[in-house]
Structure 1
Protein backbone atom coordinates (compact mmCIF):
# COMPACT_ATOMS: atom_id res chain seq x y z
CA UNK A 1 0.00 0.00 0.00
CA UNK A 2 2.87 2.36 0.81
CA UNK A 3 4.33 1.74 -2.65
CA UNK A 4 1.02 2.66 -4.32
CA UNK A 5 0.70 5.84 -2.22
CA UNK A 6 4.29 6.73 -3.08
CA UNK A 7 3.64 6.10 -6.77
CA UNK A 8 0.49 8.25 -6.70
CA UNK A 9 2.46 11.03 -4.99
CA UNK A 10 5.22 10.87 -7.62
CA UNK A 11 2.67 10.98 -10.47
CA UNK A 12 0.81 13.92 -8.90
CA UNK A 13 4.02 15.87 -8.32
CA UNK A 14 5.15 15.15 -11.86
CA UNK A 15 1.86 16.43 -13.29
CA UNK A 16 2.09 19.52 -11.09
CA UNK A 17 5.62 20.29 -12.25
CA UNK A 18 4.59 19.79 -15.90
CA UNK A 19 1.71 22.25 -15.43
CA UNK A 20 4.05 24.77 -13.80
CA UNK A 21 6.52 24.43 -16.67
CA UNK A 22 3.72 24.97 -19.20
CA UNK A 23 2.52 28.06 -17.29
CA UNK A 24 6.07 29.43 -17.23
CA UNK A 25 6.32 29.01 -21.01
CA UNK A 26 2.98 30.75 -21.59
CA UNK A 27 3.66 33.66 -19.25
CA UNK A 28 6.93 34.38 -21.08
CA UNK A 29 5.29 34.60 -24.53
CA UNK A 30 5.19 38.42 -24.40
CA UNK A 31 8.74 38.82 -23.04
CA UNK A 32 10.01 39.88 -26.50
CA UNK A 33 8.37 43.25 -25.80
CA UNK A 34 10.23 43.87 -22.51
CA UNK A 35 12.85 46.63 -22.68
CA UNK A 36 13.40 50.35 -23.03
CA UNK A 37 12.41 51.50 -26.50
CA UNK A 38 12.43 54.45 -28.86
CA UNK A 39 9.21 54.17 -30.87
CA UNK A 40 9.27 55.18 -34.54
CA UNK A 41 6.58 55.51 -37.16
CA UNK A 42 7.09 52.20 -38.96
CA UNK A 43 9.41 52.35 -41.97
CA UNK A 44 10.67 55.86 -41.14
CA UNK A 45 13.18 57.58 -38.89
CA UNK A 46 10.40 59.67 -37.29
CA UNK A 47 10.57 59.25 -33.52
CA UNK A 48 7.02 59.31 -32.10
CA UNK A 49 7.52 58.12 -28.53
CA UNK A 50 9.47 56.40 -25.81
CA UNK A 51 8.31 53.28 -24.05
CA UNK A 52 9.49 51.31 -21.05
CA UNK A 53 8.17 47.75 -20.84
CA UNK A 54 8.94 45.97 -17.54
CA UNK A 55 8.39 42.52 -16.12
CA UNK A 56 6.59 42.92 -12.78
CA UNK A 57 5.30 40.77 -9.92
CA UNK A 58 7.91 38.03 -10.28
CA UNK A 59 7.23 37.66 -13.99
CA UNK A 60 3.45 37.38 -13.67
CA UNK A 61 2.76 40.73 -15.33
CA UNK A 62 4.12 43.24 -17.80
CA UNK A 63 3.89 47.01 -17.25
CA UNK A 64 3.99 49.40 -20.21
CA UNK A 65 4.78 53.09 -19.76
CA UNK A 66 4.48 55.09 -23.01
CA UNK A 67 5.25 58.76 -23.57
CA UNK A 68 4.75 60.56 -26.88
CA UNK A 69 7.34 62.90 -28.38
CA UNK A 70 6.08 66.42 -29.15
CA UNK A 71 2.89 66.16 -27.09
CA UNK A 72 1.79 65.50 -23.54
CA UNK A 73 0.23 62.13 -24.42
CA UNK A 74 1.03 59.29 -22.01
CA UNK A 75 -0.38 55.80 -21.65
CA UNK A 76 0.08 52.83 -19.36
CA UNK A 77 -0.93 49.20 -19.64
CA UNK A 78 -0.93 46.13 -17.43
CA UNK A 79 -0.61 42.81 -19.24
CA UNK A 80 -0.89 39.28 -17.90
CA UNK A 81 -1.72 35.77 -18.95
CA UNK A 82 -5.07 34.72 -17.48
CA UNK A 83 -4.83 31.02 -16.67
CA UNK A 84 -8.61 30.70 -16.26
CA UNK A 85 -9.49 32.02 -19.72
CA UNK A 86 -6.32 30.79 -21.44
CA UNK A 87 -5.80 34.27 -22.91
CA UNK A 88 -3.55 37.26 -22.52
CA UNK A 89 -5.25 40.40 -21.22
CA UNK A 90 -4.23 44.03 -21.45
CA UNK A 91 -5.80 46.89 -19.54
CA UNK A 92 -4.68 50.18 -21.16
CA UNK A 93 -5.41 53.70 -19.92
CA UNK A 94 -4.11 57.06 -21.09
CA UNK A 95 -4.20 60.70 -20.06
CA UNK A 96 -6.96 61.49 -22.58
CA UNK A 97 -9.36 59.19 -20.72
CA UNK A 98 -9.15 56.27 -23.16
CA UNK A 99 -9.55 52.82 -21.64
CA UNK A 100 -9.06 49.57 -23.55
CA UNK A 101 -9.51 46.08 -22.16
CA UNK A 102 -8.06 43.70 -24.75
CA UNK A 103 -7.85 39.91 -24.83
CA UNK A 104 -6.08 37.48 -27.12
CA UNK A 105 -3.15 35.18 -27.57
CA UNK A 106 0.10 34.45 -29.35
CA UNK A 107 -0.53 33.15 -32.88
CA UNK A 108 2.24 32.44 -35.39
CA UNK A 109 4.80 34.52 -33.43
CA UNK A 110 2.40 37.50 -33.16
CA UNK A 111 0.70 38.64 -29.97
CA UNK A 112 -2.81 39.58 -31.12
CA UNK A 113 -5.15 41.26 -28.64
CA UNK A 114 -8.52 42.79 -29.39
CA UNK A 115 -11.94 43.81 -28.17
CA UNK A 116 -15.37 44.79 -29.37
CA UNK A 117 -17.31 47.66 -27.77
CA UNK A 118 -20.73 49.12 -28.43
CA UNK A 119 -20.96 52.93 -28.75
CA UNK A 120 -24.48 54.01 -29.58
CA UNK A 121 -25.43 52.29 -32.83
CA UNK A 122 -21.84 51.45 -33.68
CA UNK A 123 -19.80 48.41 -32.81
CA UNK A 124 -16.10 49.24 -32.66
CA UNK A 125 -13.56 46.45 -32.92
CA UNK A 126 -9.93 47.05 -31.95
CA UNK A 127 -7.08 44.73 -32.86
CA UNK A 128 -3.51 45.37 -31.69
CA UNK A 129 -0.66 43.16 -32.87
CA UNK A 130 2.93 42.95 -31.61
CA UNK A 131 5.61 41.01 -33.46
CA UNK A 132 9.36 40.74 -33.00
CA UNK A 133 10.83 41.85 -36.32
CA UNK A 134 12.69 38.94 -37.95
CA UNK A 135 16.44 39.57 -38.12
CA UNK A 136 16.17 42.79 -36.10
CA UNK A 137 16.16 43.66 -32.42
CA UNK A 138 12.90 45.58 -32.81
CA UNK A 139 9.18 44.99 -32.27
CA UNK A 140 6.43 46.14 -34.62
CA UNK A 141 3.08 47.19 -33.16
CA UNK A 142 0.00 47.85 -35.27
CA UNK A 143 -3.41 49.00 -34.06
CA UNK A 144 -6.33 48.60 -36.43
CA UNK A 145 -9.99 49.41 -35.90
CA UNK A 146 -13.26 48.46 -37.57
CA UNK A 147 -16.49 50.40 -37.04
CA UNK A 148 -19.79 48.76 -37.91
CA UNK A 149 -23.16 50.51 -37.88
CA UNK A 150 -25.64 48.34 -36.00
CA UNK A 151 -28.52 50.77 -36.50
CA UNK A 152 -30.94 51.04 -39.42
CA UNK A 153 -28.50 52.49 -41.96
CA UNK A 154 -26.62 49.35 -43.03
CA UNK A 155 -25.14 51.23 -46.03
CA UNK A 156 -22.62 52.83 -43.68
CA UNK A 157 -21.02 49.51 -42.72
CA UNK A 158 -17.32 49.27 -43.34
CA UNK A 159 -15.38 46.09 -43.86
CA UNK A 160 -12.07 47.94 -44.01
CA UNK A 161 -9.90 47.96 -40.94
CA UNK A 162 -8.50 51.47 -40.39
CA UNK A 163 -4.84 51.66 -39.37
CA UNK A 164 -4.62 53.84 -36.24
CA UNK A 165 -0.98 53.19 -35.32
CA UNK A 166 1.97 51.47 -36.98
CA UNK A 167 5.09 51.71 -34.88
CA UNK A 168 8.48 50.10 -34.57
CA UNK A 169 10.01 49.71 -31.12
CA UNK A 170 13.80 49.96 -31.36
CA UNK A 171 16.16 49.57 -28.39
CA UNK A 172 16.55 52.97 -26.72
CA UNK A 173 19.73 54.85 -27.51
CA UNK A 174 21.81 55.28 -24.37
Structure 2
Protein backbone atom coordinates (compact mmCIF):
# COMPACT_ATOMS: atom_id res chain seq x y z
CA UNK A 1 0.00 0.00 0.00
CA UNK A 2 1.53 3.37 -0.98
CA UNK A 3 2.19 5.95 1.70
CA UNK A 4 -0.30 8.80 1.92
CA UNK A 5 0.83 12.01 0.30
CA UNK A 6 1.10 15.20 2.30
CA UNK A 7 -1.83 16.59 0.34
CA UNK A 8 -3.91 13.52 1.15
CA UNK A 9 -3.06 13.72 4.84
CA UNK A 10 -4.02 17.39 4.86
CA UNK A 11 -7.21 16.59 2.96
CA UNK A 12 -8.21 13.88 5.42
CA UNK A 13 -7.60 16.25 8.33
CA UNK A 14 -9.61 19.03 6.71
CA UNK A 15 -12.38 16.55 5.86
CA UNK A 16 -12.58 15.28 9.44
CA UNK A 17 -12.73 18.86 10.70
CA UNK A 18 -15.47 19.84 8.25
CA UNK A 19 -13.25 22.40 6.53
CA UNK A 20 -14.76 21.57 3.18
CA UNK A 21 -13.16 24.13 0.90
CA UNK A 22 -9.67 23.30 2.18
CA UNK A 23 -10.43 19.57 1.94
CA UNK A 24 -11.59 19.95 -1.66
CA UNK A 25 -8.43 21.85 -2.59
CA UNK A 26 -6.20 19.27 -0.91
CA UNK A 27 -7.95 16.29 -2.51
CA UNK A 28 -7.74 18.04 -5.89
CA UNK A 29 -3.97 18.40 -5.42
CA UNK A 30 -3.65 14.76 -4.39
CA UNK A 31 -5.60 13.46 -7.39
CA UNK A 32 -3.29 15.32 -9.77
CA UNK A 33 -0.44 13.12 -8.55
CA UNK A 34 -2.62 10.04 -7.98
CA UNK A 35 -5.37 10.05 -10.61
CA UNK A 36 -6.25 6.38 -9.95
CA UNK A 37 -7.18 6.95 -6.30
CA UNK A 38 -10.94 6.31 -6.43
CA UNK A 39 -11.51 7.08 -2.75
CA UNK A 40 -9.78 10.45 -3.06
CA UNK A 41 -12.00 11.35 -6.02
CA UNK A 42 -15.05 10.40 -3.99
CA UNK A 43 -13.90 12.42 -0.98
CA UNK A 44 -13.24 15.32 -3.34
CA UNK A 45 -16.83 15.04 -4.59
CA UNK A 46 -18.21 15.11 -1.05
CA UNK A 47 -15.99 18.01 -0.01
CA UNK A 48 -16.84 20.01 -3.12
CA UNK A 49 -20.56 19.47 -2.55
CA UNK A 50 -20.25 20.64 1.03
CA UNK A 51 -18.31 23.68 -0.22
CA UNK A 52 -21.11 24.31 -2.77
CA UNK A 53 -18.79 23.69 -5.74
CA UNK A 54 -21.32 21.53 -7.50
CA UNK A 55 -19.75 21.32 -10.97
CA UNK A 56 -16.46 20.18 -9.44
CA UNK A 57 -18.34 17.71 -7.26
CA UNK A 58 -20.16 16.13 -10.22
CA UNK A 59 -16.89 15.86 -12.16
CA UNK A 60 -15.05 14.24 -9.24
CA UNK A 61 -17.90 11.81 -8.66
CA UNK A 62 -17.82 10.78 -12.32
CA UNK A 63 -14.12 9.99 -11.96
CA UNK A 64 -14.76 7.93 -8.82
CA UNK A 65 -17.48 6.02 -10.64
CA UNK A 66 -15.22 5.39 -13.64
CA UNK A 67 -12.65 3.95 -11.25
CA UNK A 68 -15.34 1.55 -9.97
CA UNK A 69 -15.74 3.08 -6.54
CA UNK A 70 -18.67 1.72 -4.48
CA UNK A 71 -21.77 2.03 -6.73
CA UNK A 72 -24.07 2.47 -3.74
CA UNK A 73 -22.01 5.29 -2.25
CA UNK A 74 -21.73 6.93 -5.66
CA UNK A 75 -25.52 6.79 -6.13
CA UNK A 76 -26.12 8.24 -2.69
CA UNK A 77 -23.70 11.09 -3.31
CA UNK A 78 -25.09 11.83 -6.77
CA UNK A 79 -28.59 12.00 -5.29
CA UNK A 80 -27.34 14.44 -2.63
CA UNK A 81 -25.67 16.53 -5.30
CA UNK A 82 -28.87 16.66 -7.29
CA UNK A 83 -30.77 17.80 -4.21
CA UNK A 84 -28.26 20.56 -3.55
CA UNK A 85 -28.44 21.53 -7.23
CA UNK A 86 -32.23 21.92 -6.89
CA UNK A 87 -32.94 18.98 -9.19
CA UNK A 88 -35.26 16.88 -7.06
CA UNK A 89 -36.45 14.80 -10.02
CA UNK A 90 -32.88 13.75 -10.85
CA UNK A 91 -32.26 12.91 -7.19
CA UNK A 92 -35.37 10.74 -7.08
CA UNK A 93 -34.37 9.04 -10.34
CA UNK A 94 -31.03 8.16 -8.75
CA UNK A 95 -32.79 6.66 -5.74
CA UNK A 96 -35.11 4.72 -8.04
CA UNK A 97 -32.07 3.25 -9.77
CA UNK A 98 -30.65 2.35 -6.38
CA UNK A 99 -33.90 0.63 -5.41
CA UNK A 100 -34.01 -1.27 -8.71
CA UNK A 101 -30.55 -2.65 -7.97
CA UNK A 102 -31.96 -4.40 -4.90
CA UNK A 103 -30.85 -1.90 -2.26
CA UNK A 104 -33.14 -2.15 0.79
CA UNK A 105 -31.41 0.11 3.32
CA UNK A 106 -34.35 2.48 3.46
CA UNK A 107 -33.27 3.85 6.85
CA UNK A 108 -30.03 5.12 5.33
CA UNK A 109 -32.10 7.27 2.98
CA UNK A 110 -34.75 8.51 5.40
CA UNK A 111 -32.04 9.23 7.97
CA UNK A 112 -29.87 11.22 5.57
CA UNK A 113 -30.32 14.95 6.31
CA UNK A 114 -29.96 15.90 2.64
CA UNK A 115 -32.07 13.16 1.06
CA UNK A 116 -34.77 13.43 3.73
CA UNK A 117 -35.62 16.88 2.38
CA UNK A 118 -37.19 15.09 -0.60
CA UNK A 119 -40.04 13.86 1.61
CA UNK A 120 -43.34 14.89 0.06
CA UNK A 121 -42.07 14.48 -3.49
CA UNK A 122 -44.37 11.83 -4.97
CA UNK A 123 -41.52 9.94 -6.59
CA UNK A 124 -39.46 9.92 -3.41
CA UNK A 125 -42.40 8.77 -1.31
CA UNK A 126 -43.07 5.95 -3.79
CA UNK A 127 -39.42 4.82 -3.70
CA UNK A 128 -39.40 4.80 0.10
CA UNK A 129 -42.67 2.84 0.17
CA UNK A 130 -41.33 0.26 -2.30
CA UNK A 131 -38.03 -0.07 -0.45
CA UNK A 132 -39.86 -0.48 2.84
CA UNK A 133 -41.81 -3.42 1.45
CA UNK A 134 -38.57 -5.05 0.33
CA UNK A 135 -36.74 -4.23 3.56
CA UNK A 136 -39.51 -5.42 5.90
CA UNK A 137 -41.59 -7.91 3.89
CA UNK A 138 -43.39 -9.53 6.82
CA UNK A 139 -45.19 -6.27 7.63
CA UNK A 140 -46.70 -6.31 4.15
CA UNK A 141 -47.57 -10.00 3.83
CA UNK A 142 -51.13 -10.84 4.93
CA UNK A 143 -50.11 -14.34 5.99
CA UNK A 144 -48.01 -12.85 8.80
CA UNK A 145 -51.03 -11.01 10.21
CA UNK A 146 -53.28 -14.09 10.49
CA UNK A 147 -52.46 -14.54 14.19
CA UNK A 148 -52.78 -10.85 15.09
CA UNK A 149 -55.99 -11.51 17.03
CA UNK A 150 -53.80 -13.10 19.72
CA UNK A 151 -51.56 -10.05 20.16
CA UNK A 152 -52.01 -8.18 23.42
CA UNK A 153 -51.81 -8.33 27.20
CA UNK A 154 -54.28 -10.86 28.59
CA UNK A 155 -55.78 -12.24 31.76
CA UNK A 156 -56.46 -15.93 31.26
CA UNK A 157 -59.22 -17.87 33.03
CA UNK A 158 -60.30 -21.48 32.88
CA UNK A 159 -63.86 -22.34 31.88
CA UNK A 160 -65.09 -22.18 35.48
CA UNK A 161 -63.79 -18.64 35.89
CA UNK A 162 -60.72 -19.25 38.03
CA UNK A 163 -57.60 -17.30 37.09
CA UNK A 164 -55.10 -19.45 35.19
CA UNK A 165 -52.50 -16.75 34.68
CA UNK A 166 -51.54 -13.91 32.40
CA UNK A 167 -50.05 -13.84 28.94
CA UNK A 168 -48.35 -11.20 26.82
CA UNK A 169 -48.09 -11.68 23.07
CA UNK A 170 -46.05 -9.11 21.18
CA UNK A 171 -45.11 -8.57 17.57
CA UNK A 172 -41.33 -8.53 17.02
CA UNK A 173 -38.79 -8.30 14.20
CA UNK A 174 -40.95 -5.96 12.14
CA UNK A 175 -43.89 -8.35 12.05
CA UNK A 176 -41.95 -11.54 11.30
CA UNK A 177 -42.38 -13.02 14.78
CA UNK A 178 -44.85 -13.17 17.66
CA UNK A 179 -43.32 -13.62 21.10
CA UNK A 180 -45.40 -15.12 23.92
CA UNK A 181 -44.51 -14.75 27.61
CA UNK A 182 -46.74 -16.73 29.95
CA UNK A 183 -46.98 -16.54 33.75
CA UNK A 184 -49.33 -18.91 35.53
CA UNK A 185 -51.23 -18.13 38.72
CA UNK A 186 -49.09 -20.74 40.48
CA UNK A 187 -45.84 -19.05 39.43
CA UNK A 188 -44.72 -21.25 36.55
CA UNK A 189 -43.58 -19.58 33.34
CA UNK A 190 -43.11 -20.34 29.67
CA UNK A 191 -42.57 -18.63 26.36
CA UNK A 192 -43.01 -19.30 22.69
CA UNK A 193 -41.86 -17.96 19.37
CA UNK A 194 -44.47 -17.98 16.61
CA UNK A 195 -43.76 -17.32 12.95
CA UNK A 196 -44.65 -18.22 9.39
CA UNK A 197 -42.48 -20.82 7.69
CA UNK A 198 -42.60 -19.32 4.20
CA UNK A 199 -41.25 -22.49 2.61
CA UNK A 200 -44.46 -24.29 3.59
CA UNK A 201 -46.82 -21.38 4.25
CA UNK A 202 -47.51 -22.74 7.74
CA UNK A 203 -47.58 -21.01 11.09
CA UNK A 204 -45.14 -22.53 13.59
CA UNK A 205 -45.06 -22.38 17.37
CA UNK A 206 -42.00 -23.40 19.38
CA UNK A 207 -42.76 -23.39 23.11
CA UNK A 208 -40.48 -23.94 26.08
CA UNK A 209 -41.49 -23.77 29.73
CA UNK A 210 -39.45 -23.61 32.91
CA UNK A 211 -40.96 -26.96 33.86
CA UNK A 212 -39.46 -28.64 30.81
CA UNK A 213 -42.40 -28.94 28.42
CA UNK A 214 -41.39 -28.38 24.81
CA UNK A 215 -44.06 -27.90 22.14
CA UNK A 216 -43.39 -27.91 18.40
CA UNK A 217 -46.58 -27.47 16.37
CA UNK A 218 -47.50 -26.03 12.99
CA UNK A 219 -50.54 -25.40 10.80
CA UNK A 220 -52.73 -22.47 9.88
CA UNK A 221 -56.09 -20.76 9.97
CA UNK A 222 -59.26 -22.85 9.76
CA UNK A 223 -62.93 -21.97 10.12
CA UNK A 224 -62.51 -22.55 13.86
CA UNK A 225 -59.36 -20.47 14.29
CA UNK A 226 -55.62 -21.05 14.27
CA UNK A 227 -55.03 -24.81 14.43
CA UNK A 228 -51.48 -26.06 14.98
CA UNK A 229 -50.51 -29.72 15.36
CA UNK A 230 -47.28 -31.53 16.17
CA UNK A 231 -45.71 -32.85 19.35
CA UNK A 232 -45.05 -32.10 22.99
CA UNK A 233 -41.90 -33.37 24.67
CA UNK A 234 -41.39 -33.66 28.43
CA UNK A 235 -37.76 -33.11 29.36
CA UNK A 236 -38.13 -34.66 32.82
CA UNK A 237 -39.12 -38.14 31.63
CA UNK A 238 -38.04 -38.00 28.00
CA UNK A 239 -41.49 -38.79 26.55
CA UNK A 240 -42.98 -37.29 23.40
CA UNK A 241 -46.64 -37.28 22.40
CA UNK A 242 -48.87 -35.92 19.61
CA UNK A 243 -50.16 -32.48 20.52
CA UNK A 244 -52.39 -29.81 19.02
CA UNK A 245 -53.61 -26.34 19.86
CA UNK A 246 -56.56 -24.27 18.66
CA UNK A 247 -56.89 -20.50 19.14
CA UNK A 248 -60.38 -19.18 18.41
CA UNK A 249 -61.32 -15.47 18.40
CA UNK A 250 -64.71 -15.12 20.09
CA UNK A 251 -67.47 -12.66 19.26
CA UNK A 252 -67.10 -10.86 22.60
CA UNK A 253 -63.43 -10.05 21.96
CA UNK A 254 -62.00 -12.90 24.02
CA UNK A 255 -59.81 -15.67 22.63
CA UNK A 256 -60.26 -19.34 23.49
CA UNK A 257 -57.11 -21.44 23.63
CA UNK A 258 -57.60 -25.21 23.64
CA UNK A 259 -54.74 -27.71 23.84
CA UNK A 260 -55.08 -31.48 23.45
CA UNK A 261 -52.67 -34.39 23.76
CA UNK A 262 -52.91 -37.92 22.37
CA UNK A 263 -51.59 -41.11 23.91
CA UNK A 264 -52.43 -43.32 20.92
CA UNK A 265 -50.69 -41.58 18.01
CA UNK A 266 -53.63 -39.28 17.31
CA UNK A 267 -56.47 -41.78 17.32
CA UNK A 268 -58.08 -40.06 20.31
CA UNK A 269 -57.38 -36.78 22.07
CA UNK A 270 -57.50 -35.68 25.71
CA UNK A 271 -57.89 -32.04 26.79
CA UNK A 272 -54.58 -30.66 28.10
CA UNK A 273 -55.52 -27.02 28.75
CA UNK A 274 -58.43 -24.71 28.01
CA UNK A 275 -58.15 -21.01 28.70
CA UNK A 276 -60.19 -17.94 27.88
CA UNK A 277 -58.26 -14.75 27.21
CA UNK A 278 -59.63 -11.37 28.28
CA UNK A 279 -57.69 -8.23 27.41
CA UNK A 280 -56.23 -6.38 30.35
CA UNK A 281 -57.64 -2.87 30.88
CA UNK A 282 -55.68 -0.14 29.12
CA UNK A 283 -53.12 1.47 31.41
User: What's the TM-score, normalizing by structure 1?
Assistant: 0.74
Match of 1:168 in 2: 276
CA 172–56 in structure 1, closer or farther in 2 if over 3 Å, else same: same
Match of 2:247 in 1: 130
- C-alpha displacement of 1:109: 4.8
Match of 1:62 in 2: 178
Whole-angstrom distance in 2 between the partners of 1:148 and 1:123 = 11
Whole-angstrom distance in 1 between the partners of 2:195 and 2:280 = 24
1:141 to 257, 267, 270: 257
- C-alpha displacement of 1:23: 6.3
Q: Any conservation in 2 of the 1:123–1:148 contact (CA below 8 Å)?
A: no
- C-alpha displacement of 1:123: 6.7
1:73 corresponds to 2:181: no
1:86 corresponds to 2:201: yes
Q: Matched residue of 1:115: which SS? A: strand
Structure whose CA Rg is larger:
2
Q: RCO higher in 1 or 2 (8 Å CA, sep ≥ 6)?
A: 1
Q: Matched residue of 2:264: which SS? A: strand
1:36 corresponds to 2:153: yes
RMSD of the TM alignment (CA)? Answer: 2.8
Q: Matched residue of 1:27: which SS? A: helix
Gap runs ≥5 in structure 1? 1-12, 150-157
Q: Any conservation in 1 of the 2:214–2:233 contact (CA below 8 Å)?
A: no
Q: Matched residue of 2:212: which SS? A: coil
4+ residue runs over 3 A deviation: 20-23, 116-120
User: How many residues get paired?
Assistant: 146
- C-alpha displacement of 1:114: 1.2
- C-alpha displacement of 1:159: 3.7
Whole-angstrom distance in 2 between the partners of 1:64 and 1:51 = 7
